[in-house]
Each structure stands twice: as C-alpha cells, then as structure tokens.
Amino acid sequence: MSDGRPERVERLMSAFQSVPGATAAGLRRAIVARAHARALGEVTLPELPEDIGAWVDKVARYPSEVTDDDVAALLVGHSEDEIVEITEAAALGASLAPLDAALAAIRDGRSQPDAAAPERSGR
C-alpha cells in the first residue's frame, strides 16, 4: 500500500496509526487499510466490526451521503471521540488511493492513471 509514497506521507501515516487515542492503534490501522481498499474498488476488504465497517465504507466511497442518522447510529456504541478517529482513519485511507494510483502510473510509465484510480462520482 505504501510503495513510493513521499516520506512525509509515511511519517503522517505512522504517527496517526500508532499514537494513543480514543480507539486502539490496531483498529485505526485496519480502518485505514479498509478505506484504502474500498476507495480503490477492491472486493476483498479487511474485517471490521459491522457498524464500523459500514461507516468506513460509506466515508471512503460516498462521503457526501453521510447523514446525521448515520452518526446517531454509531453513537449507540461509540463515543464522539471514537467516531472522530474512525472517520479520520477512513478519510486518510481513502485519500491515499488517488495518490497511490498516480504513483503507480508514474512508476509504470503511463501518462494517465487507469483502472487503478478510484471512481469518485456516482454509484
């Protein structure tokens, strides 16, 4: 997932996924990995608890469709601080997908990213 990323991006990822927080570092790592995979359109995704997995998938693929009801449903089992960290991890993982697609295109000598680039509009 990190082949060729700038060092400062890797430092950010390392810090975010390892510092103490409201959620366990391992959970944040799994969320980043799932959001990255989801944003790339992969079908095999890292496992997460069902409610977190559904939230991460929505944030990664269709963030404009997140509603207050979605947040309210998460508040049943998670604190606000946990939801913020889960959302940050999902957004971070999803944001790496276009970067990684562009880096792959450059590395492979393509002038345009191809199918590896995530589709961000519509369903």
Identify whether 77 is part of a domain: yes
Identify whether 115 is part of a domain: no
Q: Please state the domain count of the chain.
A: 1
Domain residues for the domain of 61 are: 7-108
pLDDT digits (tens, 9 = 90+) for 1-37: 456 889 999 999 889 888 999 999 999 999 999 999 9
- Residue 67: which pLDDT band, with cuts at 50, 70 and 90? very high
Identify whether 119 is part of a domain: no
What is the secondary structure of the chain as a DSSP string?
--TT--HHHHHHHHHHHHS--SS-HHHHHHHHHHHHHHHTT-SS-----HHHHHHHHHHHH-GGG--HHHHHHHHTTS-HHHHHHHHHHHHHHHHHHHHHHHHHHHHHT-SS--TTSPP-S--
Identify whether 16 is part of a domain: yes
Identify whether 114 is part of a domain: no
Identify whether 2 is part of a domain: no
Identify whether 64 is part of a domain: yes
| pTM for the full predicted model | 0.81
Rounded average pLDDT over 75-84? 96
pLDDT digits (tens, 9 = 90+) for 31-42: 999 999 999 888
- Residue 114: which pLDDT band, with cuts at 50, 70 and 90? low
Identify whether 56 is part of a domain: yes
